[in-house]
Structure formats: structure tokens, C-alpha cells
Chain A
């Protein structure tokens, strides 16, 4: 009997991308997106199913992960967890794109690029070597740049694409230079070998390694939209077509964290690194605070919903960074807090995608982008507005929605790790976030507006409904998620 290769979920995403390109090669002039959407959704579903199957049944997958291609790639609980997340977000965004880009040209490119990026994300989660990491990172970035600039004749879209690209190019140059320095200090690009070199002592190459670690951190901070590598995010999310913003702010961010978790935990073990003076947990504490504060405070004074969500997305990156910041050399809480961060990303994948999809819906209806343009939408489109309200409250962490639980676990983990002050800052930020999220809710329900809305686009509504189900079903289903995440994270520390 042939067993499925461990990388099946990643392969499925890649093959789907090729299938989309093949379809587009055969019928290059089609503007009907239904087949393309169908291929994307089916392929992503297959990938999700494969990842879920490996994750739950454990079929074809050893408990502590499988290394492939001379250790360049590893498939374990964490990579499957994230792959499931990426596939889920891809499904949502594909569905939404059907309506959003209906009748537009070049839809084949759109779906192809999106699936290629998803493949890259999945590969990032599996990367066990800095070489794989770099290639995967670029495989995510390059399609993303093009996706952001997708609306060729829209000034906002091309401006966003330019800024994203320039900052991205700079960041990847910094990342790869950091990788070269790590290679210089340790003589290998494979994370286990790098770790071994750290453990046996770096000698006089601590400085090189230190600069390298910081630059690698910069590369992942770019993907995760963390300060000071966040500058692209507000513009890119605002200017990009809303489904693309959803994709980037949920999946791409999670991919950055997936990479960060593995590279830093496996590759640069904190014990020897910290004793050599490369205390990257401290680095992430600094970044977490700066990111949270900047994201939330800047979000509080925005005029446009989409840009507010963009900044709030930066703020959430700050919360997730706690998952790295609260690690310590030989604490037993490491797996818990990082697992909580992973679970938060998972929940975030649904609620944030959902929120951006509502923005997509609003753009599709042709209502404006500002808060007051959303006035009275609740009365006219109650289902969509209820869904949006749930997403926003979940983002703010209002119980009993999914976002509350993930934040609770994350903060509890950080408290157990002794990072009181960080949690206090996070909670203050959280309370501020409620303020600006509730502005949207207020506009939706408590203000009167006058709109002439054209119908309810089926696929967008379906995507919204799936995201809503994800956000709400994660309440009773949060147990398995957090357990899986914490197990997967604990395995990394073993």
C-alpha cells in the first residue's frame, strides 16, 4: 500500500496552483471565475483535510515529526497545524474573490498567485533549514507583492504594491544577510546543526551570530508586520483588494510566526544563546511592547475601517509576539505559552479574515470606506452586520467569543512565565482596542444611514458565514485547538 507522503498538504496546495495555471493557459481570456474558484476551493479543502487527517489520526506521521530531504524540511504537529490554518484562510478568501473580482480580467493570475503564496506559507511552517526558510519566504512574498498591486488601474493598489515591495525587498535582503552571518558563525543552515553549534559554544563568533540572529528576526518581523518592520502593513492592507488584505493579514502573518517559532526555538536554543549574550526573548519583549502600543494606538484614531483593521492587525502581531517573548531557558511553561500564541493565530485567522471580508462586501456594495459610511448597515443587511459584530468583538477579546479564550490562554501563559508587566500592557491595549472596534459596531447598528445596496453576493456571504462559524464554533471547539497547539509547541521544546 502506498502511504501518502508527509508533505501531502503542501503538495496539494502547489498542485492546485499548477492546475489553476494550466486551466488559465487553456482558456486565457475567460472572465468567469467559477471554475477557478472551484479548483481553488477544492484543492484547499483537500489540503485542509489532509492536514487535519494527519493531525488527528496521526496516520503516516510519527509523533515527533518526520524529516525529509536531508533534514531541510520537517513535518510535525506545528507545521500541520499552520498548514490547516493557511488552507482554511485560502478557502475563505477564494470564495470571497469569486464575487469581489467577478467580471474582472486576469482572475487566473489571482488564484494562481494566492495558491502559490499558500504553498510557500505551508513550506515556511515546515522549513527546517534556513535555506528552505528563505526560499519559502520569497515564495510567499513575491506573489503577495503582485496580489497587492493586482488592481492595475487603481492608484491605491499600485501604491500599496510599491511600498510593500520596496520594504519587502529591503527586509528580505536583511534576512538573507542575517542568514549568511548565521552560516558564517555556525557552518550550517540546518536548524538542528545550527543549534548544535550554539550549544557547543560560538567562541569569538558570538558577535557575528548575534547580528545574524537580529537580522533574521527582522525578516520574520517583516512577515508578521511587527515594529519596526511594519511600515508596509497599513498601506498594503488599505490599498490592496480587500480579500487580499484578508489573506495577507491572517495567513501571511501566521506564516511569519510559524517560521519565527521554529527558527528561534529549534535553531537558536534560548539557553546557550542567552548565556552567550544573544537574549532573543528580551528582543521579542521589546518588539511585542512596541508593536502592541503602536498598532493599537494608531488604530484608535483612524478614519477608515480598513486602515483601522490594518493597524489592529499590527496590534495583534504584538499579542502573538508574547508567545516568543515569554519563553525562557528551562521553564516548563514554554510549550503552553507558545501553543497559546498558535491558538490565537488560529482564531485570528477566522475572525480577522471575516472582518476584512466584510470590508470586501462593503466595497462590493459600493459603500465608502470610512466609519460613517457604514452607518445603518445593520438595519439593511442584518446577517452580514451580525457577523461583523461577532468578528469585531472577538478581535477585541469580549467573552465568550473565540478571541477571548485565545487571549486568556496567552496572557495566563505569560503570567505563569512571570511576565506580569507585559500582560498588563497587553490588557491596556486590549481595552483600547475595544474602543475602536466598537466604533464600527456603533456605526453599524446605532447610526442611521441611507444606502442603496445591490443584493447579497452569494459567495461572499458564504465566506462570511464560514468565517462566522469558525469564530463561533471555536467556542466549544476551542479545547481541541488549544490542546493540539500546545502539544505541537511542547514537542518543539523536547
Chain B
């Protein structure tokens, strides 16, 4: 028997159960529309403004740095895989370690540069402050 049948069956079941549950509940439940139910939920606070607010650009700067450096760690992964076998295979410590140190070193130069440029420095911009206070009034 084809082993894929089991997987296929699993897929069908996994899609089918939630669909069936939603269908059944929508058939059974009473429908009482009310304003409070459709209101935006903000942990008990009174909602202010819409959901589409403009975030301060500095969130973005941090996120961007995170994405770049996070992804770079992926490139370290293959190195860790071969690190021990390479050492056991007779390669010297320098040979194995140096390239990664260079790699990290280049990244560090970049990070230091970004830091010094103020990319991670949280400046309260007048405009953002203004918007925030306006929203709270």
C-alpha cells in the first residue's frame, strides 16, 4: 500500500475536523448581534483610534537589524555542523575557527557602525510624541 495514503488521510482529517466544528457550531448557536461584541478588544482599555496606526519608524529600524543579523546566524549553522568532524579529521583549530571569526568580525564592524549611527538609539521624535498625546486625549 502506498505510504502516502496515510498522510493524505491525516490531511483530510486535519482539515475536516475544524471545518466540521465551525459548521456545526454555526448551525446550533443562537445569533444575537450586539455592539459590544463587535468592538475592538484592547485588554479592557477603551479602544483609541483604528487598528491601522502608523508606528514609529524606530521600531522598524530595530526590526530590520534583527532580521538581518538573525538571518546571518543561519549561515553559521553549516559551520557548526562541520566544526567537530573537521577537528577530528585533523584540521587545526585556526583553520576551522578563523573563517568564522572573520565572518563575525565583519558583522561586528557593521553592528558597531549601525550603533554609532544611532540606529538603535531611541529618540523620541517630536512628531511621534505629538501623535501619541493627541491620541490619548
Contacts and interface: CB of A to CB of B under 8 A. Distances in A.
A342 interface: no
A22 B113 CA distance: 7
B95 to A, nearest CB: 12
Interface residues of A, number: 7
A22 B109 contact: yes
Q: How large is the interface on B (under 10, 10 to 19, 20 to 34, 35 or more residues)?
A: under 10
Interface string A108-127: 00000000000000000000
Interface string B7-18: 000000000000
A28 B116 contact: yes
Q: Majority SS of interface residues in chain A?
A: helix
B47 interface: no
Which residue of A18, A21, A24, A28 has the most chain B CB atoms within 10 A of its CB atom? A21
B106 A25 contact: no
Q: Majority SS of interface residues in chain B?
A: helix
Contacts of B116: 24-26, 28
Nearest to B117: A28
Contacts of B113: 21-22, 24-25
Contacts, number: 21
Contacts of B117: 24-25, 28
Contacts of B118: 28
B129 interface: no
A11 to B, nearest CB: 11
Contacts of A25: 109, 112-113, 115-117
Contacts of A18: 106, 109
Nearest to B99: A69
Interface string A23-53: 0111010000000000000000000000000
Contacts of A28: 116-118
Nearest to A21: B113
Contacts of A21: 109-110, 113
Nearest to B115: A25
Nearest to A19: B109
A22 B109 CA distance: 7
A401 to B, nearest CB: 42
B10 to A, nearest CB: 30
A24 B112 CA distance: 10
Given A18-B106, A25-B113, A28-B118, 15 more contacts: A18-B109, A21-B110, A21-B113, A22-B109, A22-B112, A22-B113, A24-B113, A24-B117, A25-B109, A25-B112, A25-B115, A25-B116, A25-B117, A28-B116, A28-B117
5 contacts: A22-B113, A25-B109, A25-B115, A25-B117, A28-B117
